[in-house]
């Protein structure tokens, strides 16, 4: 900048001298030419100096812009470092949650296996209990004593000595005091009407929830109308009176009679399905599942609701696919 000021002062001085020279008309032409040449040189030096000054300003701007870019880049790097740290924290949390889920899954699997073992033990214990009950019933039905031949006189319950010479007999009056009881005649529950009306009457007790009365009414209808077309349906509802009251053994027996005696009745598919379900509930899963799976094959024209119910029960009891 000092050089610019010096050149500017010299330029003013030359201009002032030039004016003085122009004012002096008596000056020589050579001096004028030399002064013009010097002015040209000074103007060229000024131009060169201006270019140098502009280049320096450009360099300064570039340096400042570079500093600004460096600041922005530094901010981005700091932001990236922050994001990386957050990502590492999320990764650690995810691994922790995954570990907990694996641990929980192992616990659930262990609980399921333990439950399955307990159910198996419970089923085996139930079967053993049933077998023991059957043995106890058989033992109770046997008469006490022995089946070997023995001397009548040697039996401890009888005395062979000090027997009376004559046996005392009861008087006629004493014998007449015996009261003869006649068996009571049970009244019929069913009305004295045609079989369809009797059937509707017996089933009506199911609708109002009086299952015990329905049991006796349906049983009476079956006994009186064994060959009627409604007998199979009555047999099915007869089994239902036991199943609803959770008397599964009696229900299975009733369903079995319906399956054997009325295989072509309207309620035959329902009867077979309920027989299979009851058998599973009694612990005979293999036989029960076999009946449930055989429903579609034995009654292919059964109602859609019954077939869907059979599929649902197969999944519910986890019957093996054949």
- Report pLDDT for 72: 80
Q: Does domain 191-316 have CATH number 1.25.40.10?
A: yes
Locate the domains of the chain by residue range: 1-21+29-52, 81-135, 191-316
- Report pLDDT for 31: 58
- Report pLDDT for 99: 79
- Report pLDDT for 314: 93
Give the pLDDT of the chain (322 residues) as one tens digit per residue.
Answer: 545 455 555 556 655 555 555 555 455 556 566 666 777 777 776 677 666 655 555 555 554 556 666 778 787 788 778 888 888 888 888 887 777 777 776 776 666 666 677 666 666 666 666 666 666 555 554 444 444 444 444 444 444 455 455 544 444 444 444 444 444 446 789 999 999 999 999 999 999 999 999 999 999 999 999 999 999 999 999 999 999 999 999 999 999 999 999 999 999 999 999 999 999 999 999 999 999 999 999 999 999 999 999 999 999 999 987 6
Q: 3-class secondary structure for the chain?
A: CHHHHHHHHHHHHHHHHHHHHHHCCCCCHHHHHHHHHHHHHHHHHHHHHHHHHHHHHHHHHHHHHHHHHHHHHHHHHHHHHHHHHHHHHHHHHHHHHHHHHHHHHHHHHHHHHHHHHHHHHHHHHHHHHHHHHHHHHHHHHCCCCCCCCCCHHHCCCCCCCCCCCCCCCCCHHHHHCCCCCCCCCCCCCCCCCCHHHHHHHHHHHHHCCCHHHHHHHHHHHHHHCCCCCCHHHHHHHHHHHHHHCCCHHHHHHHHHHHHHHCCCCCCHHHHHHHHHHHHHHCCCHHHHHHHHHCHHHHCCCCCHHHHHHHHHHHHHCCCCCC
């Amino acid at each position: 900048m000092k050089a610019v000021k010096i050149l500017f002062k010299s330029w003013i001085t030359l201009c002032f001298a030039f004016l003085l020279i122009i004012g002096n008309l008596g000056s020589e032409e050579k001096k004028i030419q030399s002064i013009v040449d010097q002015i040209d040189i000074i103007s060229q030096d000024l131009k060169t100096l201006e270019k140098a000054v502009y280049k320096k300003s450009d360099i300064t701007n570039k340096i400042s812009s570079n500093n600004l870019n460096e600041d922005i880049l530094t901010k981005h790097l700091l932001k990236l470092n922050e994001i990386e740290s957050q990502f590492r924290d999320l990764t650690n949390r995810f691994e922790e949650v995954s570990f907990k889920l694996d641990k929980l899954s192992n616990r659930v699997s262990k609980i399921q296996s333990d439950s399955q073992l307990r159910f198996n033990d419970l089923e085996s214990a139930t079967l053993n209990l049933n077998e023991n009950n059957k043995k106890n019933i058989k033992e109770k039905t046997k008469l006490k004593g022995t089946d070997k031949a023995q001397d009548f006189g040697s039996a401890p319950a009888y005395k062979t000595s000090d027997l009376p010479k004559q046996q005392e007999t009861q008087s006629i009056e004493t014998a007449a005091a015996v009261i003869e009881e006649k068996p009571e005649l049970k009244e019929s529950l069913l009305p004295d009407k045609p079989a369809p009306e009797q059937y509707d009457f017996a089933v009506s007790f199911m609708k109002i929830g009086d299952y015990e009365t329905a049991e006796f009414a349906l049983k009476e209808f079956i006994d009186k109308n064994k060959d009627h077309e409604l007998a199979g349906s009555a047999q099915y509802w007869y089994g239902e009176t036991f199943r609803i009251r959770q008397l599964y053994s009696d229900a299975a027996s009733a369903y079995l009679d319906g399956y054997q005696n009325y295989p072509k009745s309207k309620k035959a598919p329902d009867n077979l399905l309920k027989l299979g379900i009851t058998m599973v509930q009694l612990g005979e899963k293999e036989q029960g599942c076999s009946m449930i799976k055989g429903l579609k094959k034995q009654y292919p024209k059964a109602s859609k609701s019954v077939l869907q119910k059979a599929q649902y029960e197969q999944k519910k009891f986890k019957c093996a696919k054949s």
